[in-house]
Amino acid sequence: MADTHSYPAAHVQACRDEIAGQIKAYRDLVGAASKASGMSLTRIDAALAAFEPAFFNNLLIALEARFVHRPHGVEGSGGNPLDEVRLLAASLMDNGGALSRDEAGAYQPENSVLKIDVGERIALNADDFEALCAAFLAEIERRFS
């Protein structure tokens, strides 16, 4: 498929709404689990701690997939949210979940939203994902809407 040089505002908003719904569902699950009876809080906390990064890492890959046809090479600064999402998603899929160097070597953790260093394990939580997603979608709108 050819590069997409624009994304309609409705597409970006639909993505924002869908992700907000998934984040709300996660937070509702956490709330319900904390009130669950018959299970120790320690076991609930452990289950949620294991589930949270798996859920949000996969949600990041889904976010990247919705905008994967943006032109490569437009990001450029090595630290903006477009670079960061692309690199994190690729690392999750192709590098066993550890942040890999980008081909151009331009990634600069100090300029990124999450400040994850190359080689560090990617384990997003809800707050990390929300911050990165908001920055990413704002940058998509700025550059492609």
Q: Name the residue with tokens 């859920």.
A: 55
Q: Is the pLDDT of residue 88 over 90?
A: yes
Q: Give the three-class secondary structure for 103.
A: coil
pTM strictly above 0.75: yes
Position 63 scores a pLDDT of 97
Backbone angles phi, psi at 131, to 5 degrees: -65, -45
DSSP per position, 54-79: HHHHHHHHHHHHHTTTSPTTS--SSS
Position 1 scores a pLDDT of 45
Mean pLDDT of the chain: 87
Position 107 scores a pLDDT of 84
CA atoms within 13 A on the CB side of 76: 5
Q: What is the mean pLDDT of residues 120-129?
A: 97
- Report which of 112, 113, 116 is spatially closest to residue 100, judged by C-alpha positions: 116
Cα–Cα distance for residue pair 94/55, rounded to 1 Å: 17
- Measured CA to CA in angstroms, residue 107 lies from 11, 16, 54 at distances of 28, 25, 24
Angle between helices 81-94 and 41-66 (to 10 degrees): 110
Position 49 scores a pLDDT of 87
Among 32-46, 81-95, 108-122, the minimum mean pLDDT is found in 32-46
Cα–Cα distance for residue pair 58/65, rounded to 1 Å: 11
